[in-house]
Amino acid sequence: MVVETAIELGLVFVLAATPWIELVVVIPAGAAMGLPTLPVTATAFIGNALPVLAIVALFRWWERRRGPVRRRWGPRARRVWRRYGLPGLALLAPVVTGIHMASVMALALGTPRRRTVQWMVASLAGWAAVTGALTALGIEQL
């Protein structure tokens, strides 16, 4: 039973670390698998935050090897950046662009690494807490 739970939490971790599969999807899915909400929430948060840290850590190295990231951001992403800047991008990322793409976008637009990490991880923590709480409430209602 413990091994099975560990494997399932490992799956939650991998899914949360996968680009475009955000913790707002993974947490309810993990709970639907019968896993306890708190460990699922913590695992999904860590799984989503570690790739952000890796992106930030490796971004300058990538630019030195391959040149500056030149991407034509979609109109929706540009609109979010112009209106709300880094805080808005970070807070909306899990439902608009994905946290991984938002991290790359922030760095490519010249945001300092420390601010990028702070805002992205804070956003993930907030989304994880809200999603975990709503998931737990929803499960109790069932």
CA distances to 73, 92, 107, 118 from 127, rounded to whole Å, are 24, 10, 21, 14
Q: What is the pLDDT of residues 97-126, one digit of tens each?
A: 899 999 998 998 889 999 999 999 999 999
Residue 70 CB: number of other CB atoms within 10 A? 6
Q: What is the pLDDT of residues 62-99, one digit of tens each?
A: 888 887 777 677 787 778 788 989 999 999 998 888 99
pTM of the model: 0.87
* 7 three-state secondary structure: helix
